[in-house]
């Protein structure tokens, strides 16, 4: 169900916890599964549940509780824009408008060509670089301007 490489990564995470605490690796396992599959289908979550010896419902609870898991299919790239206070002070609303106009979709939506899903995010803990966004959960871009946004969009084919 998951690739041998993903399984090896999950095993590395499991080894961080005491032997009878495999469930502690669920957040990492879901993250690794999501990187491979793009989003977390019920089938993927059930696989993670079996692999860690957890009830499936406990895995669903985790996947729906934390903001960075994708529990529905989405565009090829996910852009999460922080609009919280420090980013808002530094122009996040203008960046949001620019992104919506360029992508032709609003927060929580996917562009028509399926390239981008736009999300509104909460504080990412890097307010000195405001305004900022996260691309596909693992890359952060700060000091955003409309021009910088354009070049990021251009780069993400």
Write 58-64 long-range contacts (CB < 8 A, 24+).
58/23, 58/26, 59/26, 59/30, 62/26, 62/27, 62/30, 63/30
C-alpha span between 47 and 33 (Å, rounded): 10
**Contacting residue, 81, 96, 99, 130, with another protein by CB under 8 A:** 130
123 is in an annotated binding site: yes
Question: What distance in Å separates the CA atoms of residue 114 and residue 88, rounded to the nearest whole number?
Answer: 27
Residues 81 and 140: their CA atoms lie apart, in Å, by 10
Which one of 39-47, 86-94, 103-111, 148-156 is the stretch in contact with another protein (CB under 8 A)?
A: 86-94
User: Is residue 6 near another protein by the rule CB under 8 A?
Assistant: no
Distance (Å, whole) CA 34 – CA 28: 10
Q: Which residue has the tokens 């995010």?
A: 121
How many residues of this chain interact with another protein, rule: CB under 8 A? Answer: 45
127 is in an annotated binding site: yes
Of the ranges 36-44, 55-63, 99-107, 144-152, which one interacts with another protein (CB under 8 A)? Answer: 55-63
Query: Could you tell me which stretch among 3-11, 79-87, 103-111, 145-153 binds another protein (CB under 8 A)?
Result: 79-87
Residues pairing with 79 in the sheet: 118, 135
- Minimum CB separation from another protein for residue 59, in Å? 9
What residues make contact with another protein under the rule CB under 8 A? 16-18, 21, 23-28, 30-31, 52, 54, 58, 61-62, 65-69, 83-86, 88-90, 121-130, 134, 137-140, 142
Binding residues for [2Fe-2S] cluster are 82, 87, 123, 127
């Amino acid at each position: 169900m998951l690739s041998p490489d993903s399984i090896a990564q999950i095993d590395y995470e499991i080894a961080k916890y005491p032997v009878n605490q495999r469930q502690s690796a669920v957040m990492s396992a879901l993250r690794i599964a999501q990187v491979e599959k793009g989003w977390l289908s019920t089938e993927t979550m059930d696989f993670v549940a079996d692999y860690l010896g957890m009830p499936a419902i406990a895995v669903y609870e985790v996947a729906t509780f934390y903001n960075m898991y994708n529990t529905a299919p989405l565009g090829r790239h996910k852009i999460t824009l922080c609009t919280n206070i420090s980013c808002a002070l530094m122009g996040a609303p203008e960046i949001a408008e620019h992104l919506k106009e360029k992508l032709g979709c609003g927060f929580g939506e996917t562009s028509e060509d399926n390239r981008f899903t736009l999300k509104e995010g909460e504080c990412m803990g890097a307010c000195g670089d405001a305004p900022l966004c996260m691309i596909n959960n693992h890359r952060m871009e700060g000091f955003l301007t409309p021009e910088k946004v354009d070049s990021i969009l251009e780069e993400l084919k």
